[in-house]
Structure 1
Amino acid sequence: MIRTATSGCLDRTHRRPKCCRRSLEVRWSIAVTPTRVRFEPSVAACGHAGRSRTATEGRRTVSVGIDHPNFEKIYAEVQQFYARHIQLMDEGRAEEAALTFAEEAFMLSPPKIAEPIRGRAELGARLREAADTLRAEGVRYRRCHTMMTVEPQPDGRLFVRAYVQVVRTRGGESVLHAMCVCEDVLVREDGELKVRERVVTRDDCS
């Protein structure tokens, strides 16, 4: 049986995290045509010293790319990538999971990750720490990555948006831990897909 549970979130009056000068500001824009709605992430440095600016700004779009000549092949490749990527994380294989991120990757997931994690090495260390903690507590996570949209870009990047359902199991009980929107930018390194940018937004903390 799966039941829902709540976990700690930021107070609603502090729902958007602040970033420091060296953090990243992640902005999104929507370009609408009669046939498509586009998801266009961009990254910029934060403001002047002493100023705090919002680390995340609302992004609620639908991405489509079915007009791309190789869309079916790309979509299948992306599905296979996420199946491997997420299973590695769920199985606690942190070092292998880290290799599915680009060398200069960053990840943001407020409120738990309110400041971006930067670089593959740091991501790998954080994944290892999380895997060891879960193992010690006897907890297993399963992430279900669904409702995925993929938009190929002229420069080869892929904008991917999906729903992620996180199920937490301890002992004989499975609990719906979180519902999230995961928005990634994928790139190729040595011909293989890697996560370059990731922003995860929890429904109960957005």
Structure 2
Amino acid sequence: MTVELMATAEHAPHREEFAALYAQVQQFYAHQMQILDADGGEHWAATFTEDAVVELPLLPAPLRARAGLAHYARAVAARRRRAGSRLHHWVGMLDVRPRPDGTLHTRCSALAHATPPGATSKVLYVCVMEDVLVRTHDTWRTAHRRITRDDLA
């Protein structure tokens, strides 16, 4: 076996562990966005830590704690229902960086698109979402989220 092949074989378990972790994080985001799109205010907020902080580009101050997140999600869902449109989020180009303290730093692109009744979907915004994820009770939760939008830079 050549040195290159031995090095590859040596690192295979680490790559397999990372692949499993990456799949967990992808599943976490799929679940979190589906809950948000289904108007699950409290359920969506439960995917964050109790003391989570979320920075959104159009808000003057960060949202804090699960109660603040749930209130915000309910208000957004109510506006959507009044407008009669459906909102869907898509997350892609995910980068996952494990940290020495056991947290994960993630960065991804996210799209939000709305579908008005009887019309075609329209992209509302494209953003970059940067999170710190922590492991609690055998699941990942968002401790900090920062969302930026190129159109607002």
Partner of 1:85: 32
Partner of 2:133: 186
Q: More strand by proportion, 1 or 2?
A: 1
TM-score, scaled relative to structure 2? 0.87
Amino acid at match of 1:118: R
Deviation per CA, 1:129-150: give whole Å up to 9, x if none: 1111211210211111000000
Match of 1:125 among 65, 68, 71: 71
Percent pairwise identity = 36
Match of 1:95 among 42, 49, 54: 42
Partner of 2:21: 74
Amino acid at match of 1:150: V
Structure 1 segments of 4 or more deviating over 3 A?
none
Amino acid at match of 1:94: G
Amino acid at match of 2:36: M
- Structure 2 distance, partners of 1:87, 1:113, is 23
Q: Which has the larger radius of gyration?
A: 2
Alignment check: 8 A CA contact 1:148 1:160 kept: yes
Alignment check: 8 A CA contact 1:145 1:165 kept: yes
TM-score, scaled relative to structure 1? 0.65
Amino acid at match of 1:86: M
In structure 2, stretches of 5+ residues that fail to align are 1-10
Alignment check: 8 A CA contact 1:68 1:152 kept: no
Kindly report the root-mean-square deviation, in angstroms, between the aligned alpha carbons of the 2 structures: 1.6
Deviation per CA, 1:26-45: give whole Å up to 9, x if none: xxxxxxxxxxxxxxxxxxxx
Q: More helix by proportion, 1 or 2?
A: 2
Match of 1:175 among 110, 122, 130: 122
Match of 1:164 among 92, 106, 110: 110
In structure 1, stretches of 5+ residues that fail to align are 1-65
